[in-house]
Amino acid sequence: MKADEIMQLDRAHVWHPYSGMGDELPVFPVASAQGVRLKLADGRELIDGMSSWWCAIHGYNHPQLNEAVQLQLHDMSHVMFGGLTHQPAVELAARLVEITPEPLQSVFFSDSGSVSVEVAMKMAIQYWQAKGQKGEYKNKQKFISLRSGYHGDTLGAMSVCDPETGMHSLFSEVLSKQYFVDAPSCRFGEPCRDEDILQLKKLLENKHDNIAALIMEPIVQGAGGMRFYSAEYLQRAKKLCEENNVLLILDEIATGFGRSGKLFACEHSKVTPDIMCVGKALTGGYLSLAATLTSREISQTISQHEPGVFMHGPTFMANPLACKVALASIKILLNSPWQKNIQRIEQRLISGLSACEQFDSVKEVRVLGAIGVVEMKQAVDMQSLQPQFVEQGVWVRPFGKLIYLMPPYIMDEKDLAYLTSAVAAVISKLT
């Protein structure tokens, strides 16, 4: 099909994320992708600064990932996971247990990050119900979340996203009412003062009988604001959870597999959650797959008490193709000098984006690991801004006040320099 034919059918029938049918936001048809480049249907090539919403950490059309999918296709593309199992899922579960903090021993697979959060929330509630068969924990049905947090677009996950600055205020009447505390004011690299944690401390002390878990994005708050907060805050939050008999759920969907400079962002704090969610980069951007990991204490408590099973079961749970390519992606990552790569990208983002600090329209520039953020003083106009990035030969997808970069880990110095200079060039015109 020609590009104009694709676009005609797209506008007639396709509903894109965070868009209205028939709106004027630009859409660019992609013909192929290779390495860190997207090739548009009109022949233009764009350096991808987004890793396709943070998941394509090894770039596109990777030969080892391609091979993993092709090999698995010869055996089976899918089989239900109820009452059956298969080697890719078993190997992947064992690998995830090996590379995550030690108490996490039980792995529940799902098909997207949002669903892994739903699973984590249901797991926390069912744990307390199972643990308190005499009814002593029957009221532990609520969650605490941080403002500026984001955990997905399904109903349960939406309820723990920021209710005011998030994307889900339209649904406030149908969502479960949760508890929220202010986002940490102590920044990454700074200590956490008593006043920084006081609001969370008081809420846990006063409401712990009703709270199943605290859910947080460790160190990096992603789509809710791209904020980086103190590692000590997470340490103190974990201690408060332990003191008040509340579980800690860490949402590592955006941060897992090296993005923040640690394999998992909780390692910055040396904190182990009771439940952890992973997704996005798990398969290197090839197929949708997520996992919720928990301790044997939680999985055994749920399994040994009424009703004796965990009440969840996605149709495409542990899809063999996805599990096989996830194993290959993790192997590629861990066999590479990924820490040095992240440090290299971090230094290039710092140096390349620092030029943006001089512009009047810019509020702040911040970088952590392979994440670079330019926060504007005002929300950007996507309709005019997106084509400007394309004209510069880069793919950057801003939202709200944020123009940010999460490049694939394989991006070289030349492309990183070009990417950051293109961002600075576009922002300079906004001043």
Q: Cis omega before residue 398 (within 30°)?
A: no
Catalytic residue among 60, 150, 404, 409: 150
CA-to-CA dists, residue 98 to 103, 105, 112, angstroms: 10, 9, 22
Sheet with 402-405, strands from edge to edge, namely: 362-368, 371-376, 402-405
CA-to-CA dists, residue 268 to 69, 293, 369, angstroms: 33, 19, 12
Catalytic residue among 48, 251, 274, 415: 251
In the annotation, is 324 catalytic?
A: no
The candidate with the shortest Cα–Cα distance to 287, out of 258, 316, 245, is: 316
Q: Are 156 and 117 in contact, with CB atoms under 8 Å apart?
A: yes
Q: What are the φ and ψ backbone dihedral angles of 317, each rounded to 5 degrees?
A: -55, 130
* DSSP secondary structure of 68-126: HHHHHHHH-S----SS---HHHHHHHHHHHHHS-TTEEEEEEESSHHHHHHHHHHHHHH
Question: Letter for the amino acid at 135?
Answer: G
* DSSP secondary structure of 229-294: B-HHHHHHHHHHHHHTT-EEEEE-TTTTTTTTSSSSGGGGTT---SEEEE-GGGGTTSS--EEEEE
Catalytic residue among 122, 140, 280, 401: 280
d(CA 108, CA 45): 39
Q: Are 69 and 58 in contact, with CB atoms under 8 Å apart?
A: no
Say how far residue 167 (Cα) sits from the centre of its chain: 16
The candidate with the shortest Cα–Cα distance to 94, out of 105, 108, 78, 86, is: 105
d(CA 295, CA 24): 48
In the annotation, is 251 catalytic?
A: yes
d(CA 251, CA 266): 10
d(CA 258, CA 405): 15
Q: Are 272 and 266 in contact, with CB atoms under 8 Å apart?
A: yes
Only one residue has tokens 């709270």, namely 211
d(CA 389, CA 119): 38
In the annotation, is 150 catalytic?
A: yes
Residues labelled catalytic: 18, 150, 251, 280
